[in-house]
Structure 1
Amino acid sequence: MLSPTDFDGQNAVDGYGPGFFRVAGNVHHGAIVVEGDRISEWGGLDDRATLCGLAGRVDVLFLGMGAEIAYAPRDLVEELKALDIRVEAMASATAARTYNVTLSEGRRVACALLPL
């Protein structure tokens, strides 16, 4: 029997579709960054300040590259690595699901999601 996951009041991604993500029951259009306690608009891969601002708050960033898997820009990965943030690039749907599982384990994670 499956039982619902308890996110202990933290932000989980509950759904997604073309151009939107639903986080903790609220719909957000466009690219976003989701952490356990906050949701931020994100300007995409060129908006490095938002991602660098995760330093000290998260250990792993799941980078959702849109509808398909793609490589993260190498210089972005290196910049975040220098801030002790490990980056895992994948399709946005996979990034959202992986974020949820890892968040439920109590780990310091975030996901940055480009729209599908």
Structure 2
Amino acid sequence: MKLQPDKFDVQSINGYGPGWVTIEGEKTHASLVISAQGERFEWNCTRFEELSPEHFAKLAELDAEVVIFGSGKRNRFPPVAWLKPLIAKRVGLETMDTAAACRTYNILAGEGRRVVAALLLEAD
């Protein structure tokens, strides 16, 4: 699906599909973290089963009020114990499939929120 906002002044997701996203015209097939504040880096996982507490601890280091976790092709929840660093910093976490996470990130980023999207990109 291609997304075409009127105009974004923040880093936005322009399109997504199975195993890929396009950010600011650059297509990637690797899981990544993106923030409305301009941060973008690989998230070093290709499957939900590869996630660990360290993946979520890294998210707590970012300046966010909410993290949108795109859990791949379907909605899956990380163990609550992994979220302790986010809870300690009072950062909210919303979990949804990656397609929904892309759409939600764009809406919140467009509203000027301090949002981070952690997107698990699973190949077919």
The one-letter amino acid of 1:108's match is R
Deviates more, 1:14-23 or 1:85-94: 14-23
Deviation at 1:15, TM superposition (A): 1.3
Q: Is the 8 A contact 2:66 2:94 kept in 1?
A: yes
Higher helix share: 2
Counterpart residue identity of residue 100, structure 2: T
Are positions 1:48 and 2:49 aligned together? Answer: no
Offset at 1:49? 4.3
Deviations 1:48-100 (A, max 9, x none): 3431221xx11000000000011122112232111221100110110110010
RMSD: 1.7
What TM-score, normalized by structure 1, do the two folds share? 0.86
- In structure 1, give the amino acid aligned to 2:8: F
Count matched residues. 111
Match of residue 21 from structure 1: 21
Q: Which runs of 5+ in 1 are unaligned?
A: none
TM-score when scaled to structure 2? 0.80
Q: In structure 2, what residue type is equivalent to 1:12?
A: S
Aligned to 1:111: 117
Any unmatched runs of 5+ in structure 2? 46-50
3-state SS of 1:58 partner = coil
Structure 1 residue identity aligned to 2:11 = N
Q: Give % identity.
A: 35
Q: Per-residue deviation at 1:5?
A: 3.1
**Structure 2 CA distance for aligned equivalents of residues 107 and 100 of structure 1:** 10
Task: Determine if contact 1:64/1:89 at 8 Å carries over to the other structure.
Answer: yes
Task: Report deviation, 1:14.
Answer: 1.1
